[in-house]
Structure 1
Amino acid sequence: MTGLLDEHPHLGVECVLRELHIASSTYYRWRRAEREPCARKRQDAVLAERIRQIHTDSGGIYGSPRVHAVLRREGVHVGRKRVERLMREAGLTGISPRRTGKGFTRRDPKAMLAPDLVQRDFTAPAPNRLWVTDLTMIPTGEGPLWLSAIRDAFSRRVVAWETSARADADLVLTTLEYALASREVEPGKLIHHADHGCQYTSIKLTTRLMRAGIEASMGSVGGQG
């Protein structure tokens, strides 16, 4: 019927409704439902936005159980299956943390990676020749806390570190700035080695390394002691 009226508006709605014995209130309620999303869909849209924010704030590691727990703490009464569905529809997935103290990051498939100049040889002939950096997630009662640290391969000592609720490029860049402020780095002599995480392939970090005359290296960061 709606198709008929849309194609032939000259027929007149009321006339067609009378001929088909359809109440006008039924017809207009039907058309209104076509134009306006139902309450459930509107609620899903609002809920999906909050879920996305919680997932982002977690550094992209929270799956549906932990997102659901956060929502419950906030007083949002929602079923876990509904959270799972909304996360699936939004393409959001969690990461199961490895043992505490072990860092992990996500790789950007579109990023261009620096070569692995270290090849798992985490030794250096002198200070400020090889810095190895990584991110570590520390679980807390208020959510994950991310620790970014840079270690000098020669002394095995931490050059600089910083923490944040977000595992983003700003965190690793701030750590690098602290390291550069604490050490006298000779351009062209230092290698900055990290894993393939998107934080380390960001334009912000790679540009800063180039400006400081530091050569970027990417590969495994395990086993450096």
Structure 2
Amino acid sequence: MSTYQHIAERAAQVPVRQLCQVLRVAPAAYYAWQHRRQRPTVEPAWQVAVRKAFSQHSQRYGTRQLRVEVQAEGHRVGRWRIRRVLKAYGLRAQQPRSFVPRTTDSDPAVRAAPNRVLGQPAPTVPNRVWVGDITYLPR
């Protein structure tokens, strides 16, 4: 049981100031605790909008993109407030994996495409023969 709860239980029999003096607690601190305890815990609409937008976008949006989404819904909120809400709920944007080009199959049984330029005469003007390699593209 906290000190403030003890004071709240005994407040009917003994004056609050006297209890606070005995327990060495500032009366203002007790009343602030009482005020916080009585305040309704209704979640603001913008916090609901932040969490909804975060889940709608597969938990990939960071504070910048979330701010744009939430402000489009009419809520005036900044990045740092959104950051605090995400941290309070333990939410972190998932970073997409970076693209890593894969090399070609080095299996000797796989036949490479035929070289169609070898049997042709040498080009005489620029921009007649183009050559490219697309082995880095994922399958």
Q: TM-score range by the shorter chain?
A: 0.3 to 0.5
Q: Which has the higher strand share?
A: 1
TM-score (norm 2): 0.47
Q: Which has the larger radius of gyration?
A: 2
